[in-house]
Structure 1
Amino acid sequence: MMTSSSVTKSNLPPSLVSNLQSVLISRRAGGGGDDGGDGGGEEPPPMKPVEDSVEVPAEAEPVEVPPEKPVVLITNGEGIESPGLVALVEALVSGGRFDVNVCAPQSDKSVSGHSVTLQETITVSSAEINGATAFEVSGTPADCISLALSGALFSWSKPTLVISGINKGISCGHHMFYSGVVAGAREALVNGVPSLSISLNWKKDESHESDFKDAVDVCLPLIHAAIRDIEKGIFPTHCSLDVEIPTSPSTNKGFKVTRQSSWRSTPHWQAVSANRHPSGGQFMSKHQSLGIQLAQLSRDASAAGAARRFNSQRKNVEVVESVAAGKPDTQKETVRKYFRLEFMEKEQEHTDEDMDFRALENGFVAVTPLHVPSLVESEMQRLASDWIASALGGDD
């Protein structure tokens, strides 16, 4: 039996409800309600009017839907199995506060800069990381973030924050132009997503794998604050924060906002013999504190004749010659040379304590805001304008 206290209104037409009531009342009148009627038996209890209603449990309560967790997307430059990324993901997952997603290179791309893969197919494979949705990509860090933000790989449309790191080696000064970890964060910035890049000042014979966990502990308050303020709409827009952590993270002197310096290590190209040259990507830098791998360059070049291959200026270069039999002597020969690039660490004077490299060396966590400038600085604009006017003005 339906009662008004246990019902809620439905969308039945009023005319249908009226017809149902009439039918039920007529059945009640002709169903043998008198003592001498044909129906016999007891008179059915009086029927209450049928209401336009459906029954629902009286104890039903609204179901509370838990709020969605902030989406954090993680990449890096050194590959998905690097200890810095692993330590960062473990910490974010264990806290249970975030929806953690990983899209990182499957191999070391730490000095790939902001390169992207065009006219080639990249491979994406699922990866097993407890508590996270993870993919490893055959491309660069910039490829990883571009793909992740495209909507083709993940179900969400936009993460709350992109974190690139933690890199094994610094990305200060001009190394930001080479750095794959900075490029991952910069690609997010280009796409309008707040981002952080994180690097540890790793030094050979001094640093340990456990330093990455200490580096994560240093960064977590900054990460939590960034996500909180992004959701409030008060996080700095149009910039990415590059975070450089000193060699001993647990004894750092605190955070210091810095400016990008002109510091760089010195590139040194070394000629090597043909039987010593490796396949690309096999060498790692002897100076791990720079976080830079050696790059091997193999190029084919033309040479005029055999005599030029043996002059004194090329005595350290082994030349591999290949000339098909029967070809005319005037046929140009192919000369192949092999070189390796090393970045030599070089001390440079920086008197400004607010520069990233100097603050890092002094034991601070250096935080440098990076942006993609839409306008050239006014002074540079003026100088370039004056030079172009002079160069193209017809004056000798």
Structure 2
Amino acid sequence: MENCSDKPTIMVTNDDGIDAPGLRALVCVLVSTDRYHVLVCAPDAEKSAVSHSITWRHPIAAKAADIDGAIAFAVAGTPADCASLGLSQALFPSIPDLVISGINMGSNCGYHIVYSGTVAGAREAFFNGVPSVSISYDWVGGKSTIHDYTLAAEACLPLINAILAEIRNQTYPKRGFLNIDLPTDVANHKGYKLTKQGKSIFKMGWRQVSSETQGVRMSSTMTMETDQPEAKTETDSSTISQEHLLFTREARGAHIADPDTDWQYLREGYITVTPLGALSDAEMDCQVFFKDWLPSVNERASSSAL
């Protein structure tokens, strides 16, 4: 921010695609406040569960998109591509003050953070030294409505404003970024809860299918929508020979959670605010094991070489 009279600039990305209702609701709420310059650099199609993959071997296309109140581009790339391109000054003339990735359809807690393209969009901004936030809404089929995305965006405005105030004061920490998850009943949320990333995960398996078999749609990196109408698996039978075996993912067993972490508090109705970093250190007992183990391997390797 160059001076106190300037509006801060927020860049929005996601993994559900530039036409996703979560992104559109977020941008609409941000624009309606008239407090920010809003940029959008998002995938031109759904890129859920692509994690932090990037496009390396070929150029990616960016096309101007029409979103009221924002300067927007749809990009033929991953969420990490979009965040990187949007921050590069190759697409927009300046670097935004804050990057927001979301609002995702489905929560992103626990181990599912690793799979999340939404979180990757924020992480890529963090890699580039720009403050960032990923936002996900715990969509449940049959309960949630499109309007819930607007409620979720409005519920995040105090957090967004507080972050921007810290950025303006140069007091915002640079060694992490935030992952925010909003509960299904967002209209009656219990407030913000600082949490830590847990180890929660859906137990997944694989099932063999034919090209005509219908499968369960994965709506996000976190949520299997088994109560929604089934969608056919996206396979092109013309490219599949008789020798190919087809498999589709499926949920096997309930969500496995651990106490006092992001998933538990989200289920209790809180808006969970989880600081994340880029490093994935092993837990202490694992580090202690390998500290003792590796020298013994060296010794055996040296002995066998004699």
1:341 maps to which of 214, 230, 249: 249
- Alpha-carbon offset, residue 286 of structure 1: 7.3
AA aligned to 2:292 is D
TM-score, length of structure 2 as denominator length: 0.87
Aligned partner of 1:197 in structure 2 is 134
- 1:266–1:345: 8 Å Cα contact kept in structure 2? yes
AA aligned to 2:200 is W
2:277 maps to which of 351, 365, 371: 371
Aligned partner of 1:178 in structure 2 is 115
1:290 aligns with 2:201: no
AA aligned to 1:89 is V
AA aligned to 2:48 is S
1:295 & 1:273 partners in 2: Cα distance? Answer: 9
In 2 relative to 1, CA 349–297 (structure 1 residues): closer, same or farther, beyond 3 Å?
Answer: same
Q: CA RMSD in A?
A: 2.8
> For the pair shown, which has the larger CA radius of gyration, 1 or 2?
1
Percent identical pairs in the alignment equals: 40
2:204 & 2:280 partners in 1: Cα distance? Answer: 30
1:362 & 1:66 partners in 2: Cα distance? Answer: 39
Moved more, 357-366 or 337-346: 337-346
- Alpha-carbon offset, residue 240 of structure 1: 0.8
Aligned partner of 1:139 in structure 2 is 77
TM-score, length of structure 1 as denominator length: 0.68
SS of equivalent to 1:177? helix
2:23 & 2:212 partners in 1: Cα distance? Answer: 36
Aligned partner of 2:153 in structure 1 is 216
In 2 relative to 1, CA 368–83 (structure 1 residues): closer, same or farther, beyond 3 Å?
Answer: same
- Alpha-carbon offset, residue 176 of structure 1: 0.5
1:391 aligns with 2:297: yes
Aligned partner of 1:232 in structure 2 is 169
- Alpha-carbon offset, residue 172 of structure 1: 0.5
1:358 maps to which of 260, 264, 283: 264
Aligned partner of 2:143 in structure 1 is 206
AA aligned to 2:263 is F
- 1:296–1:339: 8 Å Cα contact kept in structure 2? no
In 2 relative to 1, CA 167–291 (structure 1 residues): closer, same or farther, beyond 3 Å?
Answer: farther
In 2 relative to 1, CA 390–366 (structure 1 residues): closer, same or farther, beyond 3 Å?
Answer: same
- 2:182–2:271: 8 Å Cα contact kept in structure 1? yes
AA aligned to 1:373 is L
2:220 & 2:284 partners in 1: Cα distance? Answer: 39
- 2:198–2:257: 8 Å Cα contact kept in structure 1? no
In 2 relative to 1, CA 235–291 (structure 1 residues): closer, same or farther, beyond 3 Å?
Answer: farther
The CA deviation string for residues 30-78 of structure 1, in whole angstroms up to 9 with x for no partner, is xxxxxxxxxxxxxxxxxxxxxxxxxxxxxxxxxxx99332111100110
The CA deviation string for residues 18-38 of structure 1, in whole angstroms up to 9 with x for no partner, is xxxxxxxxxxxxxxxxxxxxx
Equivalences, count:
292
- Alpha-carbon offset, residue 274 of structure 1: 3.8
1:239 & 1:392 partners in 2: Cα distance? Answer: 36
- 1:294–1:340: 8 Å Cα contact kept in structure 2? no
AA aligned to 1:372 is A
SS of equivalent to 2:187? helix
1:128 maps to which of 66, 86, 95: 66
2:21 maps to which of 77, 83, 90: 83
- Alpha-carbon offset, residue 345 of structure 1: 6.1
What are structure 1's unaligned runs of at least 5 residues? 1-64, 299-318, 322-334
2:221 & 2:55 partners in 1: Cα distance? Answer: 27
SS of equivalent to 1:199? strand
Aligned partner of 1:32 in structure 2 is none
1:346 & 1:376 partners in 2: Cα distance? Answer: 26
In 2 relative to 1, CA 361–378 (structure 1 residues): closer, same or farther, beyond 3 Å?
Answer: closer
2:191 maps to which of 248, 254, 275: 254
In 2 relative to 1, CA 87–172 (structure 1 residues): closer, same or farther, beyond 3 Å?
Answer: same
1:340 & 1:374 partners in 2: Cα distance? Answer: 29
AA aligned to 2:246 is Y
